[in-house]
Amino acid sequence: MYTVKRLTTKEKALEINLDEKIYGTMAEVGGGQEVAAYFFKAGAASGTIAKTMSAYDMTFSDSIYGKTKKYVCQEKLMKMLDREYSLLSQRLTARAKRTQFFAFANTVEVLNYQKTNQGHGWIGLRFQLHPNSVPNDCIIHVVLNDTDTVWQQQVLGMIGVNMIFACFKNYSPEEIIKSLLDNINSGRVEIDMIRLSGPDFHHVDNRLMSLLLVKNGLTHATLFDPKGNVLMPSEALYKKNVLILRGRFRPVTHVNVDMMISGLRYFRNDPEVVKENLFILSELTLKDLAVKEGKIDENDFLDRVDLLCSLGQNVLISSYKRHYRLSAYISKYTKKRKLALIVGFNNLKTIFEEKHYKDLDGGTLEGFSRLFGTNSQLLVYPSYNTEDDSLNTAESYTPDEKLVSLYKYFQENEKIVDLKDVKKENLHIISDQVLEMIGEDVAGWENMVPVRVSNLIKENYMFNYPTPLNVDEEDLV
């Protein structure tokens, strides 16, 4: 079978250098000083690089690009791209008709000498795919995991070359994502945010780009706000009191809404929770996304996100199947602030199944230490017991005999808490049944979901809601 040879970083840089149409500038601030070096070392760089800029000192950087609150931030990156690209268009008008201009920039914090910080950075490319056209932007945020400064600088250089090559070689959005880590060993770097914009990417939904980052293993989780804007988890969740509702939300029902309301009611009354510093989010995992023809059903994913956003929810997409992994991830950013996960009764039972912790060196105890060890707790929403017309609750649940003492310890220390004052009249609602009713157009499902949700499902024919017989499906696209 014939396979296409993957180019090395040097070969990619050389191919760009030999393309007479591509020409621009590179500006690197802070620790990211290696991208331009790859192009110079590849040879023929005079055909590509009009100027390189390195402003390591913050005072110099501010005087050139303007002040920002942080040295390494998206705002600084955008100021760099704005200035460098505007200078190109002002000074090189003579070659504009035959040239695809670009401005590449990064602002990066690598490991300090004491190795007490987390290396990370913002990388961006503003570029034309056609002469005299409006430029596009490709923006990413990277987390550097190497334990040596030189290695972090090396990987930054490789990512920069990969980005420039992929964008100019007309890669599809998913191919751009996949190629960013070409020739880079797994685990060295994480890319937890990407945004593509501009005339050549007007069709791109950056929520799907966020999903693709998780799907392709470039990051474990990505976050966006109710308006669909991509957020940085490290910034949005930093030192926040976080309340999380995990679910499939297919579709969002009255039960989901009541879970969030009752959880929020309890969380706000916690004396450790500062109301002004509260962040609420709904979380979807990859395993709960619908699959169509062997691939994640992107329309189904966007439908669920649209419904959650219509209810004012921040949405987290993660690859964390286990609750303890999600808790540990969020706790990295909350810095010992309060974290609460709203779970249904069935999820509580799953959490106390020892088989889920066999891959941990410390087994069940290690799993629970990750789940509860950083000021976290489970808020348990009851389910209806049809056998005796009672409620299944954390209080009524009894785990395996050898975990009973541990379970009682968590209860006594309010690590596991029952949610009270729930709307018991909604407990009969099962999302799978609602989904089936929607697809078969069975009357009554509208009463099981919020009005806003039912209206959106009908307006956009979500979840196989029948389209009118006199409407061509192509007209709905």
pLDDT band at 58 (very low <50, low <70, confident <90, very high): confident
Band of the pLDDT at 5, cuts 50, 70, 90? low
The owner of tokens 């039912």 is: 454
Share of the chain above pLDDT 70, in %: 97
d(CA 420, CA 2): 62
Residue 1 — very low, low, confident or very high, per pLDDT cuts 50/70/90?
A: very low
Distances in Å between the alpha carbon of 108 and those of 31, 285, 449, 459? 5, 30, 46, 45
Residue 23 dihedral angles phi and psi, to the nearest 5°: -155, 135
Element (H, E) at 418: strand 416-418
User: From the centroid of its chain, how far is CA 360?
Assistant: 25
Q: Is 215 exposed, middle or buried (0-12, 13-18, 19+ CB in 10 A)?
A: middle
Percent of the chain with pLDDT over 90: 79
Pairing mode of beta strands 383-385, 291-292: unpaired
Confidence band, pLDDT 50/70/90 cuts, at residue 62: confident
CA distance 9 to 7: 7
- State pLDDT tens for residues 311-325: 999 999 999 999 999
C-beta separation of 289 from 297 below 8 A: yes
DSSP element (H, E) containing 334: helix 323-334
pLDDT higher than 50, residue 470? no
pTM of the model: 0.88
Q: Say which residues have a Cβ less than 8 Å from residue 268's Cβ, sequence separation at least 6.
A: 275, 278
Give the other-Cβ count within 10 Å of 329's Cβ: 18
pLDDT at 188: 95
* CA angle centred on 223, ends 75 and 220, rounded to 5°: 110
- Indicate the residue type of 256: N
CA dihedral 321, 230, 182, 164 (to 10 degrees): 170
- Residues in contact with 347: Cβ distance below 8 Å, sequence separation at least 6, in sequence order: 246, 323
Q: Identify the weakest region by mean pLDDT among 39-43, 256-260, 271-275, 310-314.
A: 271-275
The residue written with tokens 């929020």 in the block is: 264
Which pLDDT score is estimated for 356? 93
Average pLDDT value for the chain:
92
Q: Is 98 exposed, middle or buried (0-12, 13-18, 19+ CB in 10 A)?
A: exposed
Going by C-alpha positions, the residue among 407, 408, 429 that lies closest to residue 352 is: 407
Over residues 190-217, the pLDDT tens digits come to 999 999 999 999 999 999 999 999 999 9
Indicate the fold that domain 235-426 takes in CATH.
Rossmann fold (3.40.50)
**Inter-residue contact 266 to 417 (CB < 8 Å):** yes
pLDDT, tens only, 333-379: 998 899 999 999 999 999 999 999 999 999 999 999 999 987 999 99
Instruction: Give the range among 158-172, 272-286, 456-470 with minimum mean pLDDT.
Output: 456-470
pLDDT, one tens digit per residue, over 386-442 is 878 889 999 999 999 999 999 999 999 999 999 998 999 999 999 999 999 999 999
Angle at which helices 323-334 and 363-372 cross, to 10° = 40
Sorted by where each begins, the domain ranges of the chain are 9-204, 235-426
Q: Are 191 and 213 in contact (CB under 8 A)?
A: yes
Q: Which residues contact 147 (CB under 8 A, 6 or more apart)?
A: 111, 115
- What number is the average pLDDT over the span 130-153? 95
Tokens (6 digits) for 432: 């799978």
Residue 379, beta-bridge partner list: 342, 417
* Pairing state between β 241-246 and 339-344: parallel
> In 3D, which of 257, 283, 292, 255 has the Cα closest to residue 431?
255
How far is Cα 4 from Cα 155, in angstroms, rounded to an integer? 23
Judge whether 9-204 and 235-426 match in fold.
no
Q: Is the dihedral of CA 182, 186, 187, 192 positive or negative?
A: positive
Is the pLDDT at 93 greater than 50? The verdict is yes
- Amino acid present at 147: T
- Per CATH, the number for 9-204 is 3.90.950.20
Neighbour-count burial for 402-433, b at 16+ CB within 10 Å, e otherwise: ebeeebeebeeeebbbbbeebeeebbebebee
Are 455 and 298 within 8 A, CB to CB?
no
* Per-residue pLDDT at 472: 54
* pLDDT value of residue 136: 97
pLDDT of residue 387: 79
* pLDDT over 50 at 3, yes or no: no
Task: With beta carbons less than 8 A apart as the criterion, state whether 180 and 166 touch.
Answer: yes
